[in-house]
Amino acid sequence: MSNTPSQPHNWVVDEKTDKEKLKQLAINLERELEEASSKSKIIAGLANFEPLLSAIHRAQDGQIDKAEEIQGMNYWYLHTDLPGAISLVPTLSEFLFALECWRLEPA
């Protein structure tokens, strides 16, 4: 028995966010991380955090089709000064929200 609906459906975050929007967020986030890495050691470390990099690259390639959480992101928020440097990468929160909030909707 499959959980896949019999009628066409799309994975979306909200009325404005789909795979293409997630792809654009990933592109923007990667650019922001590159630019901000020279301004913040925290951001430089985050820019090399493999689970985040993997999610960015999979989003750019359109390979994300369901909600997922980046394992280890809580560490960055709770045990580093990421909250103090977050303004350098404004797309990060939007990307993480989009990544974690996919839902299936009729096409």
Q: What is the pLDDT of residues 54-107, one digit of tens each?
A: 999 999 998 987 888 999 999 999 999 998 998 999 999 999 988 887 765 666
Which residue range forms the structural domain that includes residue 92? 17-106
Looking at residue 12, its pLDDT comes to: 64
Looking at residue 1, its pLDDT comes to: 42
The H helix count followed by the E strand count for the chain is 6, 2
* 1 within domain boundaries: no
What would the pLDDT profile of 10-47 be if each residue is shown by its tens digit?
666 665 567 888 999 999 999 999 999 999 999 999 99
Number of domains in the chain: 1
Phi, psi (degrees; rounded to nearest 5) at 11: -85, 125
Bridge partners of residue 9, in order along the sequence: 106
pTM for the full predicted model: 0.81
* 7 within domain boundaries: no
